[in-house]
Structure 1
Amino acid sequence: MWNRRRVLGAAAAASAMLASGCTAPFGSRSSYLTPILRPAHRNSVFHWTDIALQQIRDQRVPPPRAAYNLAAPMAAGFLAANGIIGRYAEPFGIGQGPRGADPEVAYGVAFATAASENFQQPFLFERNAFKDRFPDGDAKSLGIEWGRRVGMQIVRMRTNDGAEPNRINYYLGRYPRRRDALKWTPTGPFYSASPGPAFATYDRGLFPGLGQITPWTMRSGTQFRPADFLDPASPEFAEEFHTIRMLGASNSPVRTPDQSEIALFWEDGPWGITPPGHFILTAVQVLQDRGLDFLDLARAFALLGMTQCDAAINAWDAKYHHDILRPETAIRHRAERFGNADPRVERQRGWRSYIPTPEFPAYTSGHSTFGAAGTELTALLLGTDQVSFSHESPDQVLWPQLRGVRRSWTSLSQAAEENGLSRLYGGVHWERDHVAAMAAGRAIARQAFHTVFPARV
């Protein structure tokens, strides 16, 4: 039965939903592209990329789901435009678009259609504002019709990709648990940063089934699964244990000020752009003035979105397949159970990581996988890794220490390496997590670049 309170509550909810659709325009402080995109390079691809990145922030989407949410819209937009222009082959059977249709209109409509499903957000204001930029006529009408058709085709294609049942934080028998001392257990109640982020006390592992989602460019989610983790009784493990205990502690005597800054700069969440979004943003920054036309940019960001999704699948498959504990658990609770003869492998009850330890297994590093996949693919698109660039942290709300901090790199791989090492400086990952993830991310990018969307002969 409807009463005044329910009516007002429903109206408030509807108002909030519509308000959340009002994406900040380019030029505003809330637009991610404003600090890095020169106005002369604005285009439809970057316009919709900015909208998606803002939704990741505004909806507080966790990193692996952020990567998932980027893939379908970016792929749908490219496939709609390419169906009209016909420059590239594609494996999804989209077919040829209507002659005379506007490919940019089709791109935006297809992107918004797929994004609406992934973000559960209608994007009404964004759709209408975008379509109003184009003159009425047959080209626009055909583009709208074709874009909606392609967007829905991608939505249907991904309907049973395993994403929905894997949104919950329950194992459901998808990955067996370890039974030895390396077994991951939830992070304790002492990990938060003031005024930075915090994770719930002994929270369930995040998305234990995400590694079983159907990939976009990999043959399977296990294709680039890394080899087994270190033997905890080995000298190699002892060296890593000692390194992280010293380097990653909240009160580390050996971490330099620059390393501390790096740990915060690349933390990227929660409530921000996330690591996948950060490397999409990096690609916007370095690709904007490289002479790519509209369709080539659309293809580039389709590949970037798809490989970021596959990086998430790869990393989460590895995390729950190997089930490796975080350094904080090893150092605070498990040291004596490893059977390691090295005296440096000792328990330190009061140890705390410099940044909050995430609530899921360690091996491999999602940060490193996202960074390696994003920068490797961007370098392949450019034909070189040697790109000098700099920027401030995309999100500075949770880490006010970063306000005004600008970091610079002389290559894409340098940025990816710094991103991965940030997790060691922060005390939340083993070095092996980083090394294995970098190899997997690069392999994902190389395979996608050389096999997906080839030019038609």
Structure 2
Amino acid sequence: MLAIGSAHGQGRKPTAATERLLFHRAHDALTQVIVADIFSPPVAARIYVYAHAAAYETLVLCQSGPYRSGAGQLPGLTPPPPLSLSGCQPALAATEALIAVGRTLVFSEKRLDELADQLWELASRQGYSAQTIVASRAVGKQMASHILAWAAGDQYRQTRSLRRYTPQKLPGAWLPTPPGYMAAVEPYWRRIRPLTLDSASHCRLQPPPPFGITPDNAFFKSARNVFDVCTNLTAEQRLIANYWDCNPFFLNTQGHMNFASKKLSPGGHWLAIAGQVSRQTNADLMKTSAAYFLTAVALMDGFISCWDGKYRYNVIRPETFINAHINENWRPLLQTPPFPEYPSGHSVISTASAVVLTSLFGPTLGFTDSTEVAYGLPVRRFQSFRQAADEASISRLYGGIHYREALDNGQLLGQQIGEQVLKRLQLLALPARK
């Protein structure tokens, strides 16, 4: 990392570990607010990708190493205007860029400001001078403005004014599910600008089995498989289902009272894994930022592609089908999310995330994931990113909210998306040919 200007004040000199600590805490602060604001998984991914784009582009601007800007690689992203780096410390500037973008995209700006103030107090205690902090934050704010101007062109604002989605009353079509019978989440997400895909349908998704209600029909057999598996769950399968639940808005019902339990989104879980692995491998700040950013890009394109399939095929959820055609009293272990079933979002984004993280850290890296400890669940150990993705995928069958085809074909789609991200967004400069 290229340090620019004086970084330390009186008494102590900040270290590379301090830089990484501040950066990770900035990400964690943004996650806290995303959870509190109950953003849907696709919208959360959008917030994360622009926040980490700002951080990554700031670090690239200040480094002399092999990492390449996303400008010219991602649609609409141009190099930033000339920035004055006098007195700037890159890690602090990147931290500010991340927070400043996040602040604009969340609802609870005041809460994020409070968390950011704690970061800057920590930076001061760790030895950064007031002058360095001010100069670095100024650079971060300028980069944030540049990234936010790019984000404004992704069609998100336009989708906010589209009419409310009306469920189709057709055989096999998705209908809202209990307990809240909530409205469909992000039915127009396919219109959001992808980052490495040519369109929302760029990657090929196999169609689901044709709908049918007779016992010899393939669709009926898939639903029966969900019923049978969920009727005989082991303790480990229950744990796996709950571990990967990642429902940002779990609706609790007690009599006439309804209240929400707020949890991390699926994308938030995978970004937490990216952060934990960066710490566990002692990755430098540049590689850490690349891990967050590359994963966030995979999440963004994964949700765009997945949501295109969801509303194109509009498949009924197992809960609705099983109650109508197999057992009217059956309930899934997990609360059914409010959008069509096919394909499984966890399967798509987990596999895409595993592909890009494997490209950075290798196919056999084992890691410990403590993401769900805050929600009362134990740590889990994985031998590879792919093993974690496979477990995240099968968890949706154990939870009773997806058919097996949605998992298998969702993983195939996620693999394509991850490979496309790596093809279109090459963060590390390739060595020159001799």
TM range (shorter): 0.7 to 0.9
Once residues 372 and 78 of structure 1 are traced to their aligned partners in structure 2, the CA distance between those partners, rounded to angstroms, is: 23
* Cα distance between partner residues in 1 of 2:366 and 2:19: 18
Could you say which residue in structure 2 is the equivalent of 1:241? 223
Q: Which residue of 1 aligns with 2:255?
A: none
Does 2:387 align with 1:414? yes
| 1:138-179 deviation per Cα after TM superposition (whole angstroms, max 9, x unaligned) | x55543332211101111111131223435795569xxx767
| TM-score w.r.t. length of structure 1 | 0.76
User: Which residue identity lines up with residue 159 of structure 2 in the other structure?
Assistant: N
1:283-298 correspondence runs (5 A): 283-298=274-289
Q: 1:368 aligns to what? A: 347
Q: 1:26 is matched with which residue?
A: none
Alpha carbon RMSD of aligned pairs, Å? 2.6
- Quote the offset at 1:443 in angstroms: 2.1
Contact 2:366 2:381 in 1 (8 A): no
Displacement of 1:351 after TM fit?
1.9
- Corresponding residue for residue 172 of structure 2: 182
> What is the Cα deviation at residue 99 of structure 1?
4.6
- Are residues 322 and 442 of structure 1, via their aligned partners in 2, closer, same or farther at CA, if it must alter by over 3 Å? same
Question: Following the alignment from structure 1 to structure 2, what is the Cα–Cα distance between the partners of residues 325 and 74?
Answer: 35
1:84 to 62, 65, 71: 62
SS at match of 1:305: helix
Matched, 1:107 2:99: no
Query: 1:225 offset after TM fit, Å?
Result: 4.8
| Secondary structure of 1:204 counterpart | coil
Identify if the C-alpha distance between structure 1 residues 305 and 390 changes in structure 2 by more than 3 Å, giving closer, same or farther. Answer: closer
Identity value in percent: 22
1:240 Cα shift? Answer: 1.3
Aligned residues: 382
Give the residue type in structure 1 aligned to 2:184: G
Deviation at 1:286, TM superposition (A): 1.8
Asked if 1:432 corresponds to 2:421, the answer is no
Aligned to 2:113: 124
Matched, 1:378 2:357: yes
Name which of 237, 241, 255 aligns with 2:233: 255
Match of 1:213 in 2: 192
Give me the whole-angstrom Cα distance separating, in 1, the residues matched to 2:182 and 2:69: 45
- Residues 372 and 287 from structure 1, CA distance in 2 versus in 1: closer, same or farther, beyond 3 angstroms? same
Amino acid at match of 2:147: I
1:11-50 correspondence to structure 2 within 5 Å: 42-50=20-28
Match of 1:359 in 2: 338
Which residue of the other structure, out of 30, 45, 48, is the alignment partner of 1:70?
48
Equivalent position to 1:451, from 421, 424, 429: 424
Aligned to 2:8: none
Aligned to 1:149: 142
Gaps of 5+ in 1: 1-38, 190-199, 336-346
Match of 1:136 in 2: 130
Instruction: Call closer, same or farther: CA 1:79–1:40 in 2, change over 3 Å.
Output: closer
Distance (whole Å) between structure 2 residues aligned to residue 128 and residue 180 of structure 1: 53
AA aligned opposite 1:70:
Y
Output the TM-score relative to the length of structure 2.
0.80
Q: CA separation in 2, counterparts of 1:355 and 1:418?
A: 16
**Structure 1 residue matching 2:240: 3-state secondary structure:** helix
Q: Tell me if the contact between 1:273 and 1:394 (Cα under 8 Å) persists in the aligned partners.
A: no
Amino acid of the residue matched to residue 367 of structure 1?
Answer: H
For 1:293, the aligned partner's letter is: D
Distance 1:40 1:377 in 2: 26
- Out of 32, 35, 40, the position equivalent to 1:57 is 35
Q: What is the letter of the counterpart of residue 115 of structure 1?
A: G
**In 1, Cα distance between equivalents of 2:237 and 2:162:** 33
The code of the aligned residue for 1:124 comes to: D
Moved more, 267-276 or 78-87: 78-87
Query: Could you tell me how far apart the structure 2 residues matched to 1:392 and 1:131 are?
Result: 25
> CA 1:45/1:217 → structure 2, altered by over 3 Å: closer, same or farther?
farther
Equivalent residue letter for 1:377: V
